[in-house]
């Protein structure tokens, strides 16, 4: 009887454990909805709830996340300031192209150090700028690269100086539309101030 009771409780426990696991499809919906609600309300409870669910996903625990869950998880961990965990994810993942992986990894390292060792933190952003400039030299008309370029400049010189640099580029280079420059400016202006170091 005791043996039967033990088996019974082990079975129940195992079933509950399986029920608690979050599938990749479920995770995508949870992460997407939670991030949207967080940006609408600025309430951390949505991020915390999504983080709890993330820990119940096998792909995340096995470092096997693929898109869209990988990108959503990067956004979640960045908003939660879980930089150590994000650095580990970016170091181990095989499902992000190398440019985006290195770029995001360097930003994560910057975030970890920006308030304690600004010189070291800035070195990671400068590494990104080197990569971006190399890409621009190969494809000078790649407008998406300029979005990355000015984002990195913002980390180094702040929003106001970066907006001035965009204005200067607009004055000297007329191959891009006013809409392009407006989008660049709005992306800089809307970036959360708390994620930048004090200039």
pLDDT tens string 134-186: 999 988 778 889 999 999 999 999 999 999 999 999 999 888 899 999 999 99
Q: What's the pLDDT at 199?
A: 62
Q: Which of 5-14, 35-44, 57-66, 80-89 has the lowest mean pLDDT?
A: 5-14
Contacting residues for 173 by C-beta, under 8 A, at least 6 apart: none
Q: What pLDDT, on a 0 to 100 scale, did the predictor assign at position 194?
A: 83
Among residues 70, 72, 75, the alpha carbon closest in space to that of 94 is found at: 70
59-79 average pLDDT score: 94
Q: Which residues of 151-168 are buried (b: 16+ CB within 10 A; e: fewer)?
A: bbbbbbebbeebbebbee
Q: How high is the mean pLDDT of the chain?
A: 89
3-class DSSP assignment, residue 105:
helix
Model pLDDT, residue 3: 43
Cβ 89 vs Cβ 77: under 8 Å: yes
Query: Comparing 18 with 99, which gets the higher pLDDT?
Result: 99
pLDDT more than 90, % of the chain: 77
Half-sphere exposure of 130 toward its Cβ, with a 13 Å CA cutoff? 8
For 106, the 3-state DSSP assignment is: helix
Owner of token pair 């060792």? 117
Mean pLDDT of 29-44: 95
122, with CB counted inside 10 A (0-12, 13-18, 19+), is middle
pLDDT at 30 over 60: yes
Q: Residue 128 is encoded by which pair of tokens?
A: 């990104």
Check whether 198 has a pLDDT greater than 80. no
Both tokens assigned to 21: 């696991």
For the chain, the domains span 17-96, 117-199
Query: Contact, 85 vs 93, CB < 8 A?
Result: no
Closest by CA position to 199, among listed 157, 166, 163: 157
Would the pLDDT of 123 be above 80? yes
Query: Closest Cα partner for 70 from 108, 106, 100, 111?
Result: 100
């Amino acid at each position: 009887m005791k043996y039967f009771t033990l088996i019974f409780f082990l079975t129940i426990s195992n079933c509950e454990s399986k029920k608690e696991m979050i599938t990749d499809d479920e995770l995508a919906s949870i992460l997407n909805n939670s991030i949207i609600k967080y940006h609408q309300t600025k309430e951390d409870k949505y991020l915390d709830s999504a983080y709890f669910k993330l820990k119940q996903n096998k792909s995340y625990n096995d470092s096997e996340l693929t898109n869209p869950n990988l990108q959503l998880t990067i956004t979640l961990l960045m908003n939660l300031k879980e930089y150590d965990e994000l650095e580990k994810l970016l170091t181990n993942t095989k499902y992000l192209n190398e440019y985006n992986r290195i770029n995001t990894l360097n930003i994560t390292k910057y975030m970890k150090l920006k308030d304690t060792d600004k010189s070291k933190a800035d070195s990671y952003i400068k590494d990104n700028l080197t990569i971006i400039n190399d890409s621009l030299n190969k494809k000078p008309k790649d407008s998406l690269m300029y979005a990355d370029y000015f984002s990195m400049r913002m980390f180094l010189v702040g929003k106001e100086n970066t907006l001035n640099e965009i204005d200067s580029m607009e004055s000297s280079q007329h191959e891009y539309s006013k809409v392009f420059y407006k989008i660049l400016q709005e992306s800089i202006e809307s970036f959360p101030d708390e994620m930048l170091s004090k200039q």
